[in-house]
């Protein structure tokens, strides 16, 4: 650590630590000596494993974010939420219909939405969470699937929701229903699935399984990419 490096005081689970001012919450926790085995994943902001609640000095608001994206500030209080307990009904997608009735049965809390937009404000991906919940309420499953497409299931929307909706699980159901029933069939995809089932690529897959990592990287980055 450089002698002139600026340090800030943060409080992790109630205990104070001096950490570099430019740290993300994850790097600050590791600098403070925490060995992270949960609440940490890709470190790039797209896996959703490091959901965190924090309060900045002098701010009455309780903030939510991903620990790999959020930079610490002096006086910040931090508590990680590595898992958000949430309802997740078991269902058979082949026995569901792509309409509002599936959500009335499996996610009735969706219809308690009070349009406060807290879920959207909590989303680290800037997804319009309330908008896709409202789309579900109106029965527009395809729109809900589209608006929720980038969800990484960190759970922060559900954690902050006063109506106790599990938005991200409802969004998954919308995407599954849309993919199975509402999107146009792809002849190329159906052909490829058929070829895989018939074992057309078994030898190629077996060959790849025996190939070393560097060779696979080379094949991947030198592959021909077809656009459009």
Domains and CATH numbers, the chain: 7-80 (3.10.20.30), 93-182 (no CATH), 196-221 (no CATH)
Q: How confident is the model at residue 45, as a pLDDT?
A: 67
Per-residue pLDDT of 193-207, as tens digits, reads 999 999 999 999 999
pTM of the predicted structure, to 2 decimals: 0.80
Position 87 scores a pLDDT of 78
Residue 147: what pLDDT?
A: 98
Could you give the CA distance from residue 22 to residue 40 in angstroms, rounded to a whole number?
19
Interhelix angle 129-137/167-177, rounded to 10 degrees, is 60
**How many Cβ atoms sit within 10 Å of the Cβ of residue 193?**
11
Q: What is the pLDDT of residue 145?
A: 98
Mean pLDDT, range 126-137, rounded to an integer: 98
Q: For residues 24 and 33, give the distance between their C-alpha atoms in angstroms, rounded to a whole number.
A: 14
DSSP H helix total and E strand total for the chain: 10, 5
d(CA 17, CA 164): 34
Higher confidence at residue 3 or residue 145? 145
Q: What pLDDT, in 10s, does the model give residues 59-109?
A: 999 999 999 999 999 999 999 988 888 878 999 999 999 999 999 999 999
């Amino acid at each position: 650590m450089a002698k002139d490096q600026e340090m800030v005081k943060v409080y992790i689970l109630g205990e104070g630590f001096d950490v570099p001012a430019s740290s993300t919450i994850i790097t600050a926790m590791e600098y403070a000596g925490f060995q992270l085995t949960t609440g940490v994943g890709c470190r790039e902001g797209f896996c959703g494993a490091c959901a965190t609640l924090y309060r900045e000095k002098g701010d009455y608001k309780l903030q939510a974010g991903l620990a790999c994206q959020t930079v610490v500030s002096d006086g910040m209080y931090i508590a990680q939420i590595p898992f958000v307990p949430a309802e997740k009904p078991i269902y058979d997608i082949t026995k569901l219909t792509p309409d509002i009735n599936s959500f009335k049965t499996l996610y009735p809390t969706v219809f308690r939405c009070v349009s406060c937009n807290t879920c959207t404000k909590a989303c680290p991906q800037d997804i319009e969470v309330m908008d896709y919940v409202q789309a579900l309420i109106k029965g527009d499953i395809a729109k809900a699937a589209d608006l929720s497409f980038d969800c990484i299931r960190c759970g922060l929307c559900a954690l902050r929701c006063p109506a106790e909706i599990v938005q991200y699980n409802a969004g998954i159901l919308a995407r599954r229903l849309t993919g199975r029933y509402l999107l146009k069939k792809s002849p190329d995809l159906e052909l490829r699935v058929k070829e895989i089932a018939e074992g057309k690529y078994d030898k190629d897959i077996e060959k790849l399984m025996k190939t070393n990592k560097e060779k696979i990287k080379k094949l991947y980055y030198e592959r021909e990419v077809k656009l459009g």
